[in-house]
Amino acid sequence: MSSLKGRNFLTLMDFTPDEIRHFIDLAGRFKKMKKDGAAHDGLRGKNIALIFEKTSTRTRCSFEVAAHDLGMQTTYLDNSGSQLGKKESIEDTASVLGRMYDGIEYRGFGQERVETLAKYAKVPTWNGLTDEYHPTQILADMMTVREHFGDEKGKKFVYMGDARFNMGNSLMIGCSKLGLHFTACAPSKYFPNEELVKKCRAWAEESGGSITLTEDTDEAVKNADVIYTDVWVSMGEPAEVWEERIKELTPYKVTMDKMNKANPNAIFMHCLPAFHDHKTTVGKEMGEKFRFEDLEVTDEVFQKYSTVLFDEAENRMHTIKAVMAATLGYEV
């Protein structure tokens, strides 16, 4: 395996299956050390910048806690508190940050922004979510599948909903590299783009996995080990698309009926945040407007699998720690 030191973490596509498994193994060791109270602060003296052009709970907290556990200092930059995009180009910002920081996390809009940042900063740059990809989430998801089933390889992993955005794309990449059988289940206009599907099919062939695209929910959930969904409208999309999404994606809502048609020990997963009740502003507004108790997943399913969901959220921190540590040259 080539060294991970100095590498960017932008899409997961340029990592081999062994390298991806290495991140997950390293995350497992960090998780154990954290639970045992064993110090793992080998990156003392380093500094990282965390750029968030979109909001976040899990990703931001994971980067901050992981960095501090590793001994690093962090600087958080958002739209209101920096010049990025408004008074300074991403190229110039990157050139400046690269002189001060050892690594940079970026969450925002188009993938080209994080790619440009990486190119000009010349320090390891980590994608904390763009419209196209959410690669750190995939490591946490695969770690959670492994913890739950003992191994991720060969599992049938079904993604329901808008499969052409960051989560659908990145899960398809991760599953195809690690030998899972990935199914995207949605109306065909929500399938991932053909070029990416083609690449993933080639990786799946090598890893023993497969890629299936279907509109048929019964076919999708049959023999499923994991049923996964994400919000129907992602950050940065206009509010006007809600009505159409609700109409088109409601048949793909994850319900107990769908879970009951999967394997008996199947689990439900979600990157979170989720609209499973009216306890959020958007959930309440959309729920009342379209007369729904929930959106992409019922509250019953969410509650039944809440331990898995919060394990998955916790694993964001351990896997992000592994990504930063490995790319900055610290292994345990």
Annotated catalytic sites, by residue? 107, 134, 137, 230, 271, 316
By CB under 6 A, residue 280 contacts ligand NVA:
no
| Segment 95 to 114, residues that bind ligand NVA, using CB under 6 A | none
Beta pairing partners, 319: none
Which residue, 107 or 258, is less far from ligand NVA as judged by CB? 107
Contact 23, 66 (CB under 8 A): no
- How are strands ordered across the β-sheet holding 73-78? 73-78, 47-52, 103-107, 125-127
By CB under 6 A, residue 282 contacts ligand NVA:
no
**Angle CA(21)–CA(164)–CA(127) in degrees, nearest 5?**
45
Which residue, 139 or 158, is less far from ligand CP as judged by CB? 139
Which residue, 58 or 181, is less far from ligand NVA as judged by CB? 58
By CB under 6 A, residue 166 contacts ligand NVA:
yes
By CB under 6 A, residue 231 contacts ligand NVA:
yes
Sort residue 130 into left (φ over 0), alpha (ψ -120 to 50) or beta.
Answer: beta
User: What is the smallest separation between the CB atom of 127 and ligand NVA, expressed in angstroms?
Assistant: 12
* Residues whose CB falls within 8 Å of the CB of residue 289, separated by 6 or more in sequence, listed in order: none
User: What is the smallest separation between the CB atom of 313 and ligand CP, expressed in angstroms?
Assistant: 7
Which residue, 129 or 139, is less far from ligand NVA as judged by CB? 129
Long-range contact pairs involving 274-277 (C-beta distance under 8 Å, separation at least 24): 274/231, 274/302, 274/309, 275/231, 276/301, 276/302, 277/302
**Residue 57 contact among ligand NVA, ligand CP, none, beta carbon within 5 to 8 Å by kind:** ligand CP
Region from 117-125, 204-212, 229-237, 315-323 binding ligand NVA, contact rule CB under 6 A: 229-237
- The residues binding ligand CP (CB under 6 A) are 56-59, 129, 137, 271-273
**Residue 167 contact among ligand CP, ligand NVA, none, beta carbon within 5 to 8 Å by kind:** ligand NVA
By CB under 6 A, residue 69 contacts ligand NVA:
no
The whole-angstrom separation of Cα 120 and Cα 290 is 46
The whole-angstrom separation of Cα 17 and Cα 140 is 15
By CB under 6 A, residue 65 contacts ligand NVA:
no
Contact 71, 44 (CB under 8 A): yes
Contact with ligand NVA (CB under 6 A): which of 61, 235, 263, 304? 235
Q: Contacts with ligand NVA: how many residues (CB under 6 A)? A: 9
Token code pair at residue 142: 């695969």
Which residue, 125 or 169, is less far from ligand NVA as judged by CB? 169
Contact with ligand NVA (CB under 6 A): which of 101, 106, 133, 165? 165
Which residue, 49 or 271, is less far from ligand CP as judged by CB? 271
Contact 295, 285 (CB under 8 A): no
Q: Is the dihedral of CA 41, 42, 47, 53 positive or negative?
A: negative
Unique residue bearing structure tokens 């050892």? 102
Interface residue list for ligand NVA (CB under 6 A): 129, 165-167, 230-231, 234-235, 271
